[in-house]
Structure 1
Amino acid sequence: MTITSALNTAMSGLRAAGRASEVVSSNISNAMTPGYARRTLSVSSASVGFSGGVQVNGIQRHVDSQVLSDRRLAGAEFGYRSETSSFLTNIENLIGTPDQAGSLSARLSDFENSLITASSRPDANERLEAAAWAARDLAGAINTVSDGVQDARTQADRNIGTQVDRLNEALKSVERLNRQITAGSSQNSDTSSLMDQRQTLIDEISEMVPIRTVPRANDTVALYSTGGAILLDGRAAEIGFEPANIVTPYMSVGDGTLSGLTVNGFAINTTSQSGNLRGGTLGAQFEIRDELAPEAQEQMDALARDLIERFEDSTVDPTLLPGQAGLFTDANAPFDPLGEQGLASRLTVNSLVDPTAGGEAWRMRDGLGATAQGDVGNAQLLNALTDALNTTRLPNSGSFGGAAFSAIDLTAALTSQIGADRLREDQQLSFASAQFYEFTQLELADGVDTDVELQRLMAVEQAYAANARVIETVDEMIDTLMRI
């Protein structure tokens, strides 16, 4: 080996060691950076004539594509279950449990107790007023739950708008990074940082919509939802959505009062079972707005209807005329079976006894249709009102299994249904969380290990020192030759 070839070999080794130290330093400094993938320097032996050395082939970015894909799908499922579980927990809290003051069951029990108390002293006006107030509080509790359901729908609609905007931005950014990566690859530039940015964006997209990535030429990727929608293949798709200001019980996608989704101008399915973008946090918002919340509203409307019908019966209050509203009303009007939708939000106590509307408490004892006060010691109507609460009857709407219920039993059944749904969703959330955690750990295991990187750095330092020693020896040989 000539002195020149030895010097060239050592110089190539120094350059390779310098690049390797940069890669190791980058790995260590970005060990906790989201989307960062571990790098290694790819080298090979170089031989030109009688000269050798080290040739730097490039930087390799290490990613297990299968684990990454599984982690993204698990993350989408975790986000989806988190949103639906949070909704059901919120509804359960609004309804409350029987042991909680202010819950539906507690309000109904308070109303029943107030009727019993009033019937023991029907001449005591303050007890009659307490019964009227208890009836009003019960109606208000049902209104509160119904309003909470619609607030959840409104918030879900707003979340959809926000997520669609962000989804469009992220897809455009991935499209732009694909072009930059293609340009960098054609110039043999290191595109690892661009791929890190793209991975972070795709991770964000996958939380909203479960996706599959498909490799394309020049290190670019295409994105497809697991529901079959093309989100990015060369060009990013444009997702369309029109948010509503406020969502009411009477609004739905079916009647055109609520917006669905479009992809490049074409309407797509948004249901939880067969939607093109189902799953993920975006799919969860559609399920809350269009399925879970309307189901909860339907059950609340059925409860309100049952309460109204119990007291519209003339056998309970003989002073009522046919078609006249009873103790509980639909916005102070008699119940119309064709107008049940949203009834829970309109439920009110008859203004004839409502303390806040100038009502007269003695009508609780003498009847809503009474023209004047009757016998102050007659508790017959008050007892009939109590019996109406405890009479078992088949609900005329809702999904309660076709059994007959008293008012308190129907409320308990509703509470139990919501609680069971929430518990089932929490179990699904627990499984999704465990799955997401396991795939995340698998991904991290193939990530940056700082201990291993430090060991590599020590090896790089040794290689650097060895090459530096060769150069130093060559320098000494040249000095010796110059002195001859």
Structure 2
Amino acid sequence: MTIAGSLSNALSGLAAQARAAELVSSNVANANTRGYARRELELTSTYMGGSASAGVSVAGVRREVDISVVQDRRLADAALGHDSTIAGFHAELEAMIGSPGEAGSLSGRIATFEAALIDAGARPDSEARLAAVLEAATALAGKIATASDKVQAMRMEADAAIDGQVRQLNDGLTQVQTLNYEIREAVARGHDPSALQDLRQQTIDAISAIVPMRQVDRDHGMVALYTTGGAIVLDGRAADIGFARAGVIVPEMTQAGGALSGLTINGMAIRSAGDRSPIQGGSLSALFGVRDELAVSAQARLDAVARDLVERFQDGGLDATRGAGDAGLFTDAGAAFAAADEAGLSARLSVNAAVDPARGGALWRLRDGLGAAAPGDVGDARLLQALSGALTAERVPASGGFLGAARSASGLAAELLSVTGAARLAAEARQSQSAAQQDSLTVMELEGGVDTDHELQKLMLIEQAYAANAKVLATVGDMIDTLMGL
């Protein structure tokens, strides 16, 4: 080997080891960076003049990433986002209804109302006890109305969250499209695109929790993205996801009825929730499920409870002083209830103004009848006892999807809580399973990442190789100096 060849080998070796040390430094520095893939240097031998070695050259930098594990972890992120959203809704709904032992719960309000009727029946002449009946009835109606308002508030929160996630999804897809073009350009110029690929992976990770996606490699380092439901959201150009946020939501408003916006992809309407939705499985589909299915069902059950309460006291044989078609103790915004107007009844539920002194009524009508023109016998407890009996009588709910068994008012409230609690437990079980799977896949992904011990061992080898090449340079220099001195 000539002196020139030795110099070339040593110099190229120094350059390669300097680049290798730079990569080790980058790996160690980013050991805890989410989305960073470990770098490995690709080296190749260089020849000149046939088989004469001219040292080593850097062929490129390889990102070490197990894309199958990354894709499975992304799907787990989406499943966890979906199940957490559903579990959060059911937990909030159950807390709103309240457990029987909690102050202000639905069951507690009914129990208080029942106790007030019994106390008033024992002393029908007591205005204080009649006032307690009015207060308990008002609190019960207010509890149901407040619960309905909360359900609609949760629908509005879901609608607003949908709008925010659609914006995030569009921004993320646009950013991935831009990074695709930049990576293609870097590859064409022979530059290392690893940093851009890391950023692209982080961007896809962020939006894949919203909609579960599969990544497909394309030429020149580019990628395409497809939802697991089959929709193309990025292949060359990013798709445009469309959604229109509602200003206000009331019980009668539904997507099926055209009052609420669905989702579009490039202007084409798609199914927004359910097993056949192209976006199924992520937090976005869960929000649509809350707004258009779960909250609607919860509202229907609340309306059924309100209807049951109204009809118990609107029975024609309960109060002889009421005229045909007149409202009972509980009303639909002051009027008699009609079955065709059940939607949103819980939000309109109120106590009859005829028994409320603050609205021109009189407490004695609780004792003498809603249609009585003047006070009757202060010792007559028959109507109060009939009202108490109506509350505790067992009857089959006319709506709401409850099982067909007859129940008292308190029994129906307990059934409502039971249905809600069972849904919460099932949702939390799915959430726990999704969290465990996501944790497991995250660990698997991290295990394929940067091992700092291994990197430091590599650094020691790099140091030795660098020293060896430097020694060759020093030796060649000494030889040249000796030759020049002859």
TM-score (normalizing by structure 2): 0.98
Shift of 1:315: 1.9
Deviations 1:178-233 (A, max 9, x none): 11111111111100111111111111110100111111111111111111111011
Shift of 1:359: 2.9
Deviations 1:21-53 (A, max 9, x none): 111111111112221111111112333242342
Shift of 1:271: 2.2
- In structure 1, the partner of 2:268 is 266
- In structure 2, the partner of 1:482 is 484
In structure 2, runs of 5+ residues without a counterpart are none
1:133–1:355 Cα contact (<8 Å) kept: no
Quote the RMSD (CA, aligned, Å).
Answer: 1.0
Which runs of structure 1 show a deviation greater than 4 angstroms over 4 or more consecutive aligned residues?
Answer: none
Q: Secondary structure at the match of 2:59?
A: strand
| 1:389-468 pair list within 5 angstroms | 389-468=391-470
- In structure 1, the partner of 2:390 is 388
CA 1:101–1:471 in 2, change beyond 3 Å: closer, same or farther? Answer: same
2:253–2:260 Cα contact (<8 Å) kept: yes
| 1:173-188 pair list within 5 angstroms | 173-188=175-190
Shift of 1:466: 1.0
| 1:40-51 pair list within 5 angstroms | 40-49=40-49, 50-51=52-53
**CA–CA separation in structure 2 for the residues paired with 1:342 and 1:464:** 78
Pick the aligned partner of 1:214 from 208, 213, 216.
216
- In structure 2, the partner of 1:472 is 474
2:44–2:57 Cα contact (<8 Å) kept: yes
- In structure 1, the partner of 2:328 is 326
2:45–2:53 Cα contact (<8 Å) kept: no
**CA–CA separation in structure 2 for the residues paired with 1:370 and 1:263:** 62
- In structure 2, the partner of 1:21 is 21
Pick the aligned partner of 1:350 from 343, 352, 356.
352
Shift of 1:254: 1.3
Q: Secondary structure at the match of 1:47?
A: strand
**CA–CA separation in structure 2 for the residues paired with 1:328 and 1:350:** 6
- In structure 2, the partner of 1:30 is 30
Matched letter for residue 86 of structure 1:
G
Identity %, equivalent residues: 52
Deviations 1:295-351 (A, max 9, x none): 000000000000000000122222121110000010011001111001111100111
Deviations 1:267-292 (A, max 9, x none): 11112221111221111110000000
Deviations 1:248-276 (A, max 9, x none): 10111111110001111111111222111
| 1:80-479 pair list within 5 angstroms | 80-479=82-481
CA 1:53–1:128 in 2, change beyond 3 Å: closer, same or farther? Answer: same
Matched letter for residue 4 of structure 1:
A
CA 1:353–1:271 in 2, change beyond 3 Å: closer, same or farther? Answer: same
Deviations 1:375-394 (A, max 9, x none): 11111111111110111111
TM-score (normalizing by structure 1): 0.99
Deviations 1:44-82 (A, max 9, x none): 233324234222110000111110110000000000111
In structure 1, runs of 5+ residues without a counterpart are none
2:225–2:233 Cα contact (<8 Å) kept: yes
Which range is displaced more, 458-467 or 352-361?
Answer: 352-361
2:355–2:366 Cα contact (<8 Å) kept: yes
Q: Secondary structure at the match of 1:175?
A: helix
**CA–CA separation in structure 2 for the residues paired with 1:353 and 1:142:** 19
**CA–CA separation in structure 1 for the residues paired with 2:357 and 2:113:** 15
Matched letter for residue 108 of structure 1:
I
2:273–2:286 Cα contact (<8 Å) kept: no
Matched letter for residue 481 of structure 1:
L
Shift of 1:356: 4.2
**CA–CA separation in structure 2 for the residues paired with 1:168 and 1:267:** 16
Q: Secondary structure at the match of 1:457?
A: helix
Matched letter for residue 375 of structure 1:
D
**CA–CA separation in structure 2 for the residues paired with 1:317 and 1:428:** 50
1:367–1:381 Cα contact (<8 Å) kept: yes
**CA–CA separation in structure 2 for the residues paired with 1:47 and 1:358:** 105
- In structure 2, the partner of 1:10 is 10
1:111–1:138 Cα contact (<8 Å) kept: yes
